[in-house]
Amino acid sequence: MGTPDIVLCRIDNRLIHGQVATQWTGSINANLILVANDEVAGNKLRQGLMDMAAPSYAQTRYWTIQKTIDTIGKASPKQHIFLVCETPEDVLKLVEGGVPIKKVNIGNMHMAEGKRQVVGSVAVNDEDVAAFRKLQELGVELEIRRVPQEPAEDLNKLFK
């Protein structure tokens, strides 16, 4: 198994959507958007909507967390992968499964019951925070940034 070229891993509860997908994919020079999400992997309707939002120069894949762990090592060196996940827990499963994620961009985590808003587009609960801490312990760099043009937010806000 080779080492896949994962240029960025992003957490976004909407996964691939609109300008955000295009801006990130372009700014990191990715040519493959891989959505690692158990629900979407089996949902052709959601895949079709995301394919419409993805930039035309990038391929898309929709894999379960397990398939991503099992298969990403077979990626060609020509594939520059933008990995998109819904939750930090999913990212942690990938990292613990051996997926070589170096950096996680925390984009959109919507407000929900039991969550607290950290910055405008990010709300977390204790499980999320625990997953982020564990990712840091495993040497993964974290940043909170909605779109590439904006400066990153203060990461300490996550852990307050």
Q: Which residues are catalytic?
A: 17
- Judge contact between 73 and 81, C-beta under 8 A: no
Q: How far is Cα 39 from Cα 37, in angstroms, rounded to an integer?
A: 6
- Judge contact between 84 and 16, C-beta under 8 A: yes
Phi then psi for residue 21, to 5 deg, are -60, -45
Q: Single out the residue of 17, 19, 5, 20 nearest to residue 105, CA to CA.
A: 20
